Chain A
Amino acid sequence: MHIPSGLSLVREIEELSGQVVADCYQCGCCTSGCPVGEQMDPPPSKAIRLLQLNKAAELLASDGIWMCASCLVCGTRCPRAVDYARIAEACRALILRTRQSKVDPDTVTAPELEEIPQQAFIASFRKFSV
């Protein structure tokens, strides 16, 4: 699958996520509430800023979009009703649809399989693998 570039890439992300990046006024509520915000690079508000500046390719190449646990605190607290979890998911979808995975199910070890609840595996593979 071909990934579009520039402005058309931002439009594609908006369409897949159902969000409008221009709605964000950069208050930072999402980033301050994010439970993994300290480890997420870029954090939600900065990621949205990249899209506002037409730098979607930079966001797609980042590690941050793969750090989201879909807890939805960002979107719940957003005063402008922008849901960053949906934006991150759209970015991941564009990459996954080129058949590139972030998590390889084959790397899960036997003890992990024995111990971790299967809902975590299914969720992880659905979010991070093809």
Chain B
Amino acid sequence: MKYVYYPGCTLYTKARNLDACARKAAARVGFELTEMPSWNCCGAIYNTTTDDLAAQVGSVRNLAKASQLGEKLVTLCAACHNVLKRVDDRLHAQGNEVERDRLIAFVDEKFEHRVQVMHYLEVLKNDIGFDKVKEKVTKPLAGLKVASYYGCLMVRPREVLQFDDPENPQVMDDLMAALGAVPTPFDFKAECCGGYLVVNRRDVARTASKRILDNARARGAEAIVTTCPLCQYNVDKLRPGGDGAMPVFYFTQLLGLAVGLPVEELGFEYNAFDPKPFLAQKGLA
């Protein structure tokens, strides 16, 4: 199976490990991500003011471009996914035809049809199936107790994202179970890490993200998995120095590990705290 893939800016630089593991793991699981040529910034955050059309343009162009290439557009960064999904929803909302025509006319790309914006996790769950993913596991995660942290962007607004329960999502937990880990429920699965407030209010983001880490630990988790570069940064990096006992992984890193990608290809050098000693202790690296 082939998919049109939109990586987004952060996955080319600070979250290159999220991206690299996803592409390589896809090949092992049985699908292919073909990067969309000449993609542009999605806008990084969805603008909600009713009259601001300019903020939608970047994503509209990506959606138009994708429509020339296929039926489904696969995302991986939670922020890109959220923005593309919401712009798509706005574009096709009933009664919004005038705005849609203006936006599409503006981007100067042929808009062939509406594409289905899908997150990588949705491909694994709906198109491949977690039972099939399980068959591809060559290195089961040895009962590792993993807390799946979804954050905000994957699950809200619920009616647009239609991803999972906005208070108690399960998709990533189910994937972790398929990989041989033990999904560990905790109270802050879909709680905000402080997001972009880290830029001007680092203290606020630190308080918010520390709460997530502390709760996962208190509920018995040994590691956290994320799907967003900003969640990953806030939870992994903002904790006080030396507190590296609880590794924070991208879900694609654990997926890659379980389907047999070599450890040196999983990009652990980009994690704030090196998780290799922890994995070695578990007999996984």
Contact = CB atoms under 8 A, between A and B. Distances in A.
Whether A and B are associated in the same complex: the answer reads yes
Interface of A: 15-18, 35-36, 39, 67, 69-73, 75-76, 83, 85-86, 89-90, 93, 102-103, 108, 112, 115-124, 126-128
Contact of A118 (B10, B43, B50, B207): B10
B51 A70 contact: no
B200 A76 contact: no
Given A116-B198, A119-B44, A73 B192 contact: yes
A60 B244 CA distance: 41
A97 B257 CA distance: 49
Given A69-B192, A69-B196, A89-B48, A117 B157 contact: no
Rank and list the top 8 A-B pairs by shortest CB-CB distance, nearest first: A71-B192, A122-B44, A123-B45, A123-B196, A124-B199, A71-B152, A72-B156, A69-B195
B195 A126 contact: no
Contacts of B200: 102-103, 124, 128
B90 to A, nearest CB: 11
B48 A127 contact: no
The contact size tier of chain B is 35 or more
B201 to A, nearest CB: 7
B51 to A, nearest CB: 7
Interface in B8-34: 8-10, 13-15
23 contacts: A16-B49, A16-B51, A36-B192, A67-B201, A72-B157, A76-B156, A76-B166, A89-B47, A108-B199, A116-B233, A117-B14, A119-B9, A119-B10, A120-B195, A120-B199, A120-B230, A122-B45, A123-B79, A123-B195, A124-B196, A124-B200, A126-B44, A127-B45
A contacts with B: majority SS = helix
A116 to B, nearest CB: 6
B41 A122 contact: yes
Contacts of A127: 45, 196
A6 to B, nearest CB: 21
A116 B191 contact: no
Contacts of A93: 49, 52
Contacts of B14: 115-118
B50 A16 contact: yes
A119 B7 CA distance: 12
B237 to A, nearest CB: 7
B199 A121 contact: yes
A117 to B, nearest CB: 4
Contacts, number: 124
Interface string B75-89: 001010000000000
A121 B199 CA distance: 7
Contacts of A126: 43-45, 47, 55
A83 to B, nearest CB: 8
B9 A67 contact: no
A73 B151 CA distance: 11
Given A67-B204, A69-B194, A103 B48 contact: no
A39 to B, nearest CB: 6
Contacts of B43: 122, 126
Q: Which of A35, A73, A86, A93 has the most CB of B within 10 A?
A: A35
Contacts of A89: 47-49
A68 B47 CA distance: 13
B197 interface: yes
